Amino acid sequence: MIQFYEIDKYIVFSKDLPRQVLPKQLSPDVTEVFFNSSKNGVFIGRSEHQNVPIFWNSRLYPNGHCCVLGMSGSGKTYFVKTFITRAYFSGAKAIIFDWTGEYVPWVTDIKGKVLEMSIFSFDIFPEPEEIHENLSNTVFILSVLAELDNDETVALHELIYQYYMEKMKKPDLNEFIKICKSDKRINAKMSYHFEDLKRLFKNVGNIEEYLKSEKILCLDFSMIEKEKQRILFSHIVLNLVYQKMRFNNTIETFIVIDEAWRLLRKKTLENLIREGRKYLHNLVLASQNLADFGDIVFSNFSSFFIFKLQSHSERMLIAKSLLIDEETIEKIGNLPRGKCFCNISLVGKNAISFFVKRVEGEDGIIWYTIKYGDAMEMQIERELLIRRLKENGIKDNDINDILNYLDLHNRNVSIMEVARKLVQKGYSLAQIISLLRSIQIYDEVIVNVLAELEEKEDNMNKVDIELSD
């Protein structure tokens, strides 16, 4: 498929871009990244200097892993969506781990497949003839669930293996509970999770087939209530991706994990990071907190896309890890939404760095700015805000009223006004707290909002009493 982009009011086809006149100031390394990859690359945007179109091509880099950093509302998630959309139109696949349902409307719009993971179950126990190959994976998943230490994990492995040798079959739930109860240490930790284990003894839904057949697959974990179950199920799926990638290695595949801290310390993810390039599997990890990422990311990722970061300490960590000068680091702290700093390593060469003016297509999405005095200002996409309102029980008519109010005020309002409107419409404080947390409002701001709401209610009651007197 030929893609086209509007560059300085002229329509230019991607196959023709290499023929454009190159600015003399660009180095050969930059020219290679910008132009030689345009035929098979993913269009990112245009450079801050000379307005040069920039293409990303994993074949030019040590690996295709991408790290996307930025505070809430900086354009980070929209960049990921744009990047994956263009990769998809270039023939790549994508598997998206969606914790909050943020990617669901977008995947639906581009005719991808959304799987509601709360209805799936997994049989994690192997058949007897497969225990030597797969039992370790099963024990690892169980150890993650119950937070077993190394000695307890080894003991559990031995107990399950012994059961297989004696019974020559895989255990059902009751039999596994008996296995756990035979060791006091394991039972003390595992007994808290026996209810969760019910979903680990039978397969409901053939997720392996979806992983193989779908070009854009969104795994929606948002309806799984328990955080621990979300992490457990996502790890099981990630383990499936890892096991199958050596057999599904003919198409470049992007594994997108937003809020990557949930899985970053897991062994399977580390294995994917280290082995992914061999099998055309690329990780795209996104986060608003640099502390989520350890040495494994900075040591094994070739591409970094950094949006606005306000924290000075985080910018200093980036400076140290990527060898970025102080002037650039300060600039990252003041980037407008949609503009990002790129640091890309080339095979056999030093990394190159540059700013992209904005993520192309940024204007096509509706953003709302929500603030609380000088303490907080954040941006949220219209579709995501609608989803969060619905999830917290806000009625459709009331959602439309809130959106109209936002539009009338240039899409820039105080969170207090939104909260007051919800109170006026009869919604409980519990619903309002849940909504504010779901759109990532800081707890200290929520406390202040509640205090102001209660103060206003007290004043209203006082007026009512005086009028009655």
Domain boundary among 204, 219, 251: 204
For residue 180, the enclosing domain spans 121-204
* pLDDT for res 14: 37
The per-residue pLDDT for range 12-39, each reduced to its tens digit, is 333 333 333 333 344 444 555 555 544 5
Whichever domain contains 326, its CATH number is: 3.40.50.300
**Spatial separation of the C-alpha atoms in residues 398 and 168, rounded to whole Å:** 59
**Spatial separation of the C-alpha atoms in residues 329 and 316, rounded to whole Å:** 7
Same domain for 388 and 348: no
Same domain for 30 and 12: yes
CB 191 within 8 A of CB 180: yes
Task: Say which range, 1-5, 14-18, 341-345, has the weakest mean pLDDT.
Answer: 1-5
The per-residue pLDDT for range 100-119, each reduced to its tens digit, is 888 988 888 888 999 998 88
The per-residue pLDDT for range 413-437, each reduced to its tens digit, is 899 999 999 999 999 988 999 998 8
* pLDDT for res 314: 83
Left, alpha or beta for 50 (phi > 0: left; psi -120 to 50: alpha)? left
Same domain for 441 and 457: yes
* pLDDT for res 165: 93
The Cβ of residue 53 has, within 10 Å, a number of other Cβ atoms equal to: 20
Domain boundary among 359, 383, 403: 359
**Spatial separation of the C-alpha atoms in residues 1 and 205, rounded to whole Å:** 33
Domain boundary among 140, 171, 204: 204
* pLDDT for res 33: 52
- Of 252, 326, 251, nearest in space to 66 by CA: 252
CB 161 within 8 A of CB 134: no
- What's 356's DSSP letter? E
Summarize the confidence of residues 47-57 as an average pLDDT.
Answer: 83
The per-residue pLDDT for range 204-215, each reduced to its tens digit, is 767 888 888 899
CB 206 within 8 A of CB 113: no
* pLDDT for res 303: 93
* pLDDT for res 239: 82
Same domain for 315 and 420: no
The per-residue pLDDT for range 359-409, each reduced to its tens digit, is 775 445 677 888 887 767 777 878 778 888 988 999 989 998 999 999 898
Handedness of CA 397, 401, 407, 410 (dihedral sign): negative
- Of 203, 199, 220, 200, nearest in space to 95 by CA: 220
**Spatial separation of the C-alpha atoms in residues 6 and 10, rounded to whole Å:** 6
Q: Is the pLDDT of residue 294 over 80?
A: no
Report how many domains make up the chain.
Answer: 3
User: Which one has a higher pLDDT value, 7 or 186?
Assistant: 186
**Spatial separation of the C-alpha atoms in residues 206 and 113, rounded to whole Å:** 14
CB 186 within 8 A of CB 156: yes
Same domain for 62 and 39: yes
* pLDDT for res 16: 38
Checking DSSP bridges between strand 93-98 and strand 42-47, what pairing results, if any?
Answer: unpaired
**Spatial separation of the C-alpha atoms in residues 411 and 381, rounded to whole Å:** 11
**Spatial separation of the C-alpha atoms in residues 63 and 282, rounded to whole Å:** 8
CB 164 within 8 A of CB 131: yes
Residues in the chain: 469
Residue 100 token pair: 């909050």
Same domain for 135 and 19: no
Secondary structure of residue 44 in the 3-state scheme: strand
The per-residue pLDDT for range 297-333, each reduced to its tens digit, is 888 899 999 999 888 888 888 888 888 888 898 999 9
Same domain for 346 and 219: yes
The per-residue pLDDT for range 180-200, each reduced to its tens digit, is 888 888 888 888 888 777 777
Same domain for 284 and 425: no
**Spatial separation of the C-alpha atoms in residues 165 and 180, rounded to whole Å:** 17
With 0-12 / 13-18 / 19 or more C-beta atoms within 10 angstroms meaning exposed / middle / buried, residue 277 is middle
* Residue 228: pLDDT band with limits 50, 70, 90: confident
* pLDDT for res 57: 87
* Residue 235: pLDDT band with limits 50, 70, 90: confident
Same domain for 326 and 305: yes
* Residue 96: pLDDT band with limits 50, 70, 90: very high
Instruction: Tell me what percent of the residues of the chain surpass a pLDDT of 70.
Output: 84
- Alpha carbon of 121 to those of 116, 124, 237, 268: distances in Å? 11, 9, 11, 20
Residue 142 token pair: 């169980």
Sequence-ordered list of residues with C-beta below 8 angstroms from that of 222, at least 6 positions apart, any chain: 98, 99, 100, 101, 104, 391
Same domain for 165 and 84: no
What is the chain's mean pLDDT, rounded?
80
The top-scoring range by mean pLDDT among 44-48, 135-139, 368-372, 399-403 is 399-403
Same domain for 326 and 219: yes
Same domain for 216 and 86: yes
Instruction: Tell me what percent of the residues of the chain surpass a pLDDT of 90.
Output: 20
